[in-house]
Amino acid sequence: MTPQQIEQVQSSFAKVAPIAEQAAVIFYDRLFAQVPAIRAMFPQDMREQHKKLMATLAIVVGGLGDLPTVLPAASALARRHVGYGVTPEHYQVVGGALLYTLEQGLGSDWTAELAAAWTSAYTLLSNYMITEAYGAPATA
């Protein structure tokens, strides 16, 4: 990622943070609509999960400029997700739900350039997590 892309991701996430609960609802609604079987991996009451999602995103986005600070947590998260039944293929669906959520949350501030920056960030982190959990990144 370029420094400009990191800045774009961080500044756009700052615009989504005030609507964190709504963004989390959009994300999970989209995820479950895309792959209904994933719903069984989550608790019935999603409020705590919404908070965890947004807190994790905040940490990762905040650490993009210094990746070594977030990679150990990303590795641990990836390994935990294996136990929940997450497969490498799920990462692509999650990425799509994330981009959709950002597009909805940012409205007219969502541009092709910003989408590319977020795609770069997500691809970097998801490939790392897949490698940590399964040994090799999935091809997109």
CATH number, domain containing residue 70: 1.10.490.10
Assigned domain for 70 exists: yes
How many structural domains compose the chain? Answer: 1
pLDDT of residue 110: 98
Assigned domain for 64 exists: yes
Assigned domain for 140 exists: no
**Predicted confidence (pLDDT) per residue in 60-112, tens digit:** 999 999 999 999 999 999 999 999 999 999 999 999 999 999 999 999 999 99
pLDDT of residue 138: 53
Assigned domain for 97 exists: yes
pLDDT of residue 125: 95
Minimal CA–CA distance to 41: which of 92, 13, 83? 83
Share of the chain above pLDDT 70, in %: 96
Q: Assess contact for 32 and 39: CB atoms under 8 A.
A: yes
**Predicted confidence (pLDDT) per residue in 98-132, tens digit:** 999 999 999 999 999 999 999 999 999 999 999 99
Distance, in Å, from the CA atom of 27 to the CA atom of 38, rounded to the nearest integer, reads 13
pLDDT of residue 139: 55
**Between helices 47-62 and 71-83, what is the axis angle to 10°?**
150
The alpha-carbon radius of gyration of the chain (Å, integer) is 14
**Predicted confidence (pLDDT) per residue in 3-50, tens digit:** 999 999 999 999 999 999 999 999 999 999 999 999 999 999 999 999
Round to the nearest angstrom and report the end-to-end CA distance of the chain. 18
**Predicted confidence (pLDDT) per residue in 25-37, tens digit:** 999 999 999 999 9
Assigned domain for 37 exists: yes
Q: At residue 140, does pLDDT exceed 80?
A: no
| Domain limits for position 68 | 3-134
Write a three-state SS string for 5-34.
HHHHHHHHHHHHHHHHHHHHHHHHHHHHHH
